[in-house]
Amino acid sequence: MIKASPLRITGITKIEGLTVTVTFNNKEVRLIDFEKLFAQWHISDKNIEYKLLDPSQLMQVELKEHTLCWENLKVPVSSKSGQKTFTSYDIGPDVLYENSTPEPKKHSVSHFQKAARKEA
């Protein structure tokens, strides 16, 4: 039995408004609509993610550890000893994949030429 590789993000292709287009290690290019995603998660101004609904904050995204990360958004975490530190906000690539849509297929010029020939 062949075990599938874990999903990883290999690149950020485009950031437009509240949508980030990424490439996964399975070669799929997918769109992540953060406005839609955060609405599904019921994110409000009381949640740390709320700041990312500002496109200027969302566009500060970086690719780190094969997922999307925001250094501009710090999350408090406590160690086992109770010491509080902060880490950058990120979302796992598997969660982003499940909450994304495939990039619409773009037709090449040759596709349109073939279609025109069929009609002629």
pLDDT in tens, 23-55: 999 999 999 999 999 999 999 999 999 999 999
Q: How confident is the model at residue 107 (pLDDT cuts 50, 70, 90)?
A: low
3-state secondary structure of 12: strand
| In a domain? residue 3 | no
User: Per the domain annotation, does 42 fall within a domain?
Assistant: yes
Share of the chain above pLDDT 90, in %: 78
Report the number of distinct structural domains present in the chain.
1
Q: What residues form DSSP beta bridges with 14?
A: 21
Structural domain span for residue 67: 9-119
Tell me the HSE value of 38 on the side-chain side, using a 13 A CA sphere. Answer: 19
pTM of the predicted protein model:
0.81
Nearest to 28 by CA among 110, 102, 108: 102
- Domain presence at residue 4: no
What pLDDT score does 90 carry? 97
Has residue 91 got a pLDDT over 80?
yes
* pLDDT at residue number 79: 86
